[in-house]
Amino acid sequence: MPNTGHYRVKTLGHSRQFRPIEGWFFNLNPLHPQVDTLFFGAFHGDEPESAQVLMHLLAKLKTDPGVLHGRCVAVVPQINPDGLRLNTRKNAYQVDINRNFPAQNWEPSPQAEHYHGGYFAASEPETQLVCRLLKRYSPGKIVTLHTPYQVINYDGPPCALALAQTMASLNGYPVEADIGYATPGSFGTYAGVEQGIPVITLELAEGVPAVEQWHRHHSALLAAIQFDA
Ligand SMILES: [Zn+2]
């Protein structure tokens, strides 16, 4: 496990096909392992831009730790490494991780369906890993990256809207309360609505080079770190 000064890399668990899922932790206090801001990418494997932009964020946090302002930040760029490898929305068991969370509105659905949420809630190792992370590190706020809608969604307590507006003022994206269709078992419902954690879903553009998207969004992502939830 490489440990260099202000950050360390941890293997948090494994996917269905046993690919490691790694997290980078900055300024983590081992005696009080509470994360202030948690970033997730690639819940959906066919949205590689979400992971790539977080790799740019990682490079920034490694080389310019001043932007952390001493806060504890965790970055998990690839929640669904099997899907990334297969270029599929779902994981290797044909489950949409972002419909598999044990929220009260989770519901069964046919496996062939685009949004199949699994045969039971939290059936997938990727989902279980995320649930464990929330329990263990009690994140103060969470930013998840997706594509392709080019909006900022928010879930959770009122400060989630304030954070969304702060980020929107820096990247020019519209803020939207919800995505316009029902999302049973989604991460936003589970973590934001039910656990009361401010959750931002930043929907990036599809097919735009990550370096360009990083230039557009880096101020918004760094502002999320500095935001007091
Ligand atoms: Zn997505």
- State residue 49's pLDDT score: 98
The mean pLDDT value for 126-135 works out to 98
109 against 188, higher pLDDT: 188
E strands, 163-210, where?
Answer: 175-176, 199-203
Order across the sheet with 37-40: list the strands: 3-4, 7-14, 20-26, 73-76, 37-40, 141-146, 199-203, 152-155, 175-176
CA of 179 to the centre of ligand 1 (A): 11
CA of 26 to the centre of ligand 1 (A): 25
**Cβ distance 106 to 97 under 8 Å?**
no
CA of 147 to the centre of ligand 1 (A): 6
* Beta-strand relationship, 152-155 and 199-203: antiparallel
- State residue 179's pLDDT score: 61
CA of 176 to the centre of ligand 1 (A): 15
How far apart are the two ends of the chain, measured CA to CA in Å? 31
Using alpha carbons, select from 125, 143, 158 the residue that is nearest to residue 50. 143
Residue 3 pLDDT > 50: no
- State residue 113's pLDDT score: 84
Q: For tokens 């039971």, what's the residue?
A: 120
- Residue 115 CA to residue 184 CA, distance in Å, equals 9
CA of 6 to the centre of ligand 1 (A): 31
CA of 80 to the centre of ligand 1 (A): 11
CA of 30 to the centre of ligand 1 (A): 32
Q: For tokens 């980020």, what's the residue?
A: 167
CA of 31 to the centre of ligand 1 (A): 34
CA of 149 to the centre of ligand 1 (A): 9
CA of 152 to the centre of ligand 1 (A): 13
209 pLDDT band, cuts 50/70/90, is very high
CA of 66 to the centre of ligand 1 (A): 31
- pLDDT tens column, 35-67: 999 999 999 999 999 999 999 999 999 999 999
Q: What protein residues have CB closer than 5 angstroms to ion ligand 1?
A: 44, 47, 146
CA of 47 to the centre of ligand 1 (A): 6
- State residue 115's pLDDT score: 86
E strands, the chain, where?
Answer: 3-4, 7-14, 20-26, 37-40, 73-76, 141-146, 152-155, 175-176, 199-203
CA of 146 to the centre of ligand 1 (A): 4
Q: Which amino acid is at 178?
A: D
Provide the CA 151 distance to its chain's centre, in angstroms. 15
CA of 43 to the centre of ligand 1 (A): 6
pTM attached to this predicted model: 0.96
Helix or strand (DSSP H, E) at 137: helix 125-137
177 pLDDT band, cuts 50/70/90, is confident
